Chain A
Amino acid sequence: MRILARPTALAVAVLVVFAFLLAETVAVQVKTTSVRKDPKFTSAAVAAIRAGDTLEKLATQSGWVKVRTKSGVVGWVHSTAVTAKKVSLTASGKTMQTQASAGEVALAAKGFNKQVEDAYRSANPNLDFAGVDRLEKIRPTAAEIEAFLKAGRLGESGGAQ
């Protein structure tokens, strides 16, 4: 342990441990989204990803991150869909996934979570959560957006950043 006698050596050792643990990965921070062929939202989806999935970060380009999924698919995700911060959270999430059902993992999210919403809902049975669930189901596809932009002669300057 002579090498760790000096504080600098100690600091280097700590950093090496962290560098190993963090690597060049990002974690998905939105419920579901797609890895896309090109760095734009109207580009074809090549893989479906969900909250907690880890992706290898390969490159960045004006708001987009080039990634490789666990199954080896390479494509682009928008930077707002991923975080470098949650790599660790995902690691613990993975452990939980092997021990608990997906529902229990969702319940175990930090702070204001589904468990809290359920409690709030049962205390306020007249609130229109069913309406909110219906709203959430409406999600235009990339093809619909592209058709809309094209028909309205929009997005010709590049559209999404």
Chain B
Amino acid sequence: MSARAKAFAAAILAAALALTGCQAVKQGAADVLASTGKVSREDADALVRTAETLRSTFADITEEEEYYIGRSTAALILSKYGLYRNDALSAYVNVLGTAIAYSSERPETYGGYHFAVLASDEVNAMAAPGGFIFVTKGLVKRCADEETLAAILAHEIGHVAGRHGLQSIKKSRLVDAFKLIGGEAARQFDSEELAKVTAAFDGVLGDVVETLVERGYDRKFEYEADKLALSYTVRTGYAPDGLAAFLRGMEEDKPAGPAAGWFKTHPSAAERSARVKAEIAALGAVPVKLAVRTARFAAAVKPVR
């Protein structure tokens, strides 16, 4: 087989394999190549191997892996803050959040979206990968109306849709984890492998939780989530000023001294609020705030007031 023919066959294979990851298909492709008699068995296998894409970035994390990273992240957050138990409030937050998620560009994730109120007076909101979204009791208390809580949940949905949490995993850690996991489509680990992969998993969770709880996302992700929040809420039918109003309130009440909670993990509320205002101005006609929503919001959040 000439070098040109080989390169051509490799390009076709790369395109075909980009659509599949199946061992049987790969084997089939190698068989077809080898059966021509123009390519040796060894060459055929090598061509197939080269055409396979190796996993290297956060974008290569599967939906199911994201779900498992999200579940453990959620367990760590729940253990740190504790769940605020109130079935009616929980039902309200879940129906509100899910309705907004349906207006996002990522309405379906492996395990779906789930919303919970944390038993903390600190003002904070967090999104674990895959769709576990948390708001603290302290944050809910600060929301004036349904438009505001909707905007906060939409912002967190924006982090999930943009896979921002996964992007906080250190690149080198991910590359090492993918090497450990290997190229097979599906497998069960033996005990030695399991210990190593679990250690890698622990490291991944460390990166994600540190970003969610301690360090905060990169500024550009916060601005992106604000922008997404605006579009999701307006698409759902909410007046767009919930987020701006919340940010203004936070700026006015900014405590003196070292930042904690929300103030520590988020960029300046004044800067965000200015950006959001400019984006709202560019929207044109938008829905208006309705008393019927503010009334049901007030009833739902009464226990935390």
Which chain A residues have a beta carbon within 8 Å of chain B's beta carbons? Answer: 1, 4-5, 7-8, 10-11, 13-15, 17-18, 21-22, 29-31, 33, 41-42, 51, 63, 78, 80-81, 84-89, 91-93, 96, 104, 107-117, 119-120, 123, 126-129, 131-132, 135-136, 138-140, 144-145, 148-149, 151-161
Contacts and interface: CB of A to CB of B under 8 A. Distances in A.
A105 B174 CA distance: 24
Given A17-B29, A29-B110, A151-B296, A1 B36 contact: yes
A131 B201 contact: no
Given A140-B95, A161-B235, A91 B22 contact: yes
B305 interface: no
Nearest to B90: A138
A68 B46 CA distance: 38
A154 B37 contact: no
Nearest to A77: B108
B78 to A, nearest CB: 4
Contacts of A85: 19-21
A108 B202 CA distance: 20
B202 A120 contact: yes
A7 B99 contact: no
Contact of A7 (B5, B25, B178, B204): B5
Nearest to B2: A7
Contacts of A14: 9, 12-13, 16, 29, 32-33
B91 to A, nearest CB: 7
Given A7-B9, A110-B65, A131-B75, 14 more contacts: A14-B29, A22-B19, A22-B20, A30-B112, A81-B108, A87-B19, A89-B21, A111-B197, A127-B75, A129-B75, A131-B83, A140-B91, A151-B296, A159-B102
Given A4-B38, A127-B76, A152-B290, A110 B19 contact: no
A135 B74 contact: yes
A5 B2 CA distance: 11
Interface residues of B, number: 87
Interface in B99-128: 99, 102-103, 105-112, 114, 116
Nearest to B13: A14
B65 A112 contact: yes
A32 to B, nearest CB: 8
A148 B189 CA distance: 45
In the A-B complex, the 5 residue pairs with the smallest Cβ-Cβ separation, listed nearest first, are A88-B22, A154-B237, A7-B5, A160-B102, A88-B20
Contact of A120 (B74, B108, B146, B201): B201
B6 to A, nearest CB: 8
B114 A157 contact: no
Given A1-B36, A116-B197, A21 B186 contact: no
Given A7-B8, A159-B102, A161-B103, A91 B24 contact: yes
B132 interface: yes
B187 A15 contact: no
A30 B108 contact: yes
B283 interface: no
A111 B65 contact: yes
B25 A21 contact: yes
Contacts of A80: 105-109
12 contacts: A18-B19, A29-B110, A78-B107, A89-B186, A92-B186, A110-B65, A115-B189, A117-B71, A120-B202, A127-B72, A151-B292, A154-B238
